[in-house]
Amino acid sequence: MLVMLVLSVLALAIANPSFRNPANLLNIIQQASMVGVIACGMQLMIISGGFDLSVGATAAASGCLAAYVSLQMGIAPGMVAGLAVGLGVGVINGSLIAKVGMNPFVATFGSQAVVTGVLYALTNARPIAPLPREWRELGFFNIGGLTFSSMVFIVVVVGLHLVLRYTRFGQHIYAVGSNKVGTSRAGVKVDRVIIATYAIGGLTAGIAGVMLTSITGVGSPQAGTTWALLSIAAVVIGGTPLTGGVGGISSAVVGIFALTVLNNAMTLYSISAFWQPAFMGLGVLFAVGYEASRQKRKA
């Protein structure tokens, strides 16, 4: 999939001068950043043998709470509050799965409904605005054209890659995804690993929610409705199976950039917004089908 992504980028760069414009390339990184951060957290959860359908609602709740608290206490406490919400929802999801024994689909679908319902009730489904100008200043902050959200994305990618590849906790995530029973018999606290993994997934959702608030300058309860499915699709497109035990952060990065490049290309070629979801779906089906057929031939 990395080869296909590189070839697609090269083809678009040759065919369309607007695509290879440095400003557009930097824009692609920013467009990928929010869902990309969530996809990195989702990658860990899928490696451990699960997934989280509540990340979009969690991101919206984090962004709204960050916006509300910033109006009362300032932007820094608001950001901390937003991240705390994401971390808390992740811990709850992990506990429901590890301690109660719920299926990840049931647990995270239920928490998604609860978070969305509470958020809509508290906000009357209305955005929280106007916000302090520091939010927009943060959202527009850049170094050499690389925006704040893009820099956060890069930090998350590098950080979680190091966690997965070079820490004992990362090794335990792979082990739990491969064989929970065997890993438990080896002395690993499987419950703790699962809870910690979902806590990281919730935290990345909180980070994405805060990033969105900084970019838009509002706390929107309707934000992130498609982020859960997009992040799962990105991981799968990158070549990680949903069975757990294998994969890496690079898979999430390749997958999210594949989706973002496709979306950017459709925008540049003025494809109707009504058709774009259909083409995105076809792209996902093609990529996953290609990877599945390739694995089948290897077997």
Could you report the per-residue pLDDT of 141-160, keeping only the tens digit for each? 999 889 999 999 999 999 99
Q: Number of helices and strands (H, E) in the chain?
A: 13, 2
Domain ranges of the chain: 2-298
Q: 296 or 257: whose pLDDT is higher?
A: 257
Question: Which of the four pLDDT bands, split at 50, 70 and 90, describes residue 275?
Answer: confident
CATH number for the domain running over 2-298: 1.10.3470
* pLDDT score at 57: 96
At 149-191, the pLDDT tens digits run 999 999 999 999 999 999 999 999 999 999 999 999 999 999 9
Q: What are phi and psi of 128, to 5 degrees?
A: -95, 110
Query: Is the CB of residue 140 less than 8 Å from the CB of residue 11?
Result: no
At 196-229, the pLDDT tens digits run 999 999 999 999 999 999 999 999 999 998 899 8
Alpha carbons within 13 angstroms on the beta-carbon side of residue 16 total: 17
Q: Report whether pLDDT(271) > 70.
A: yes
* pLDDT score at 278: 85
**DSSP secondary structure letters along 46-105:** HHTT---TTHHHHHHHHHHHHHHHHHHH-HHHHHHHHHHHHHHHHHHHHHIIIII---HH
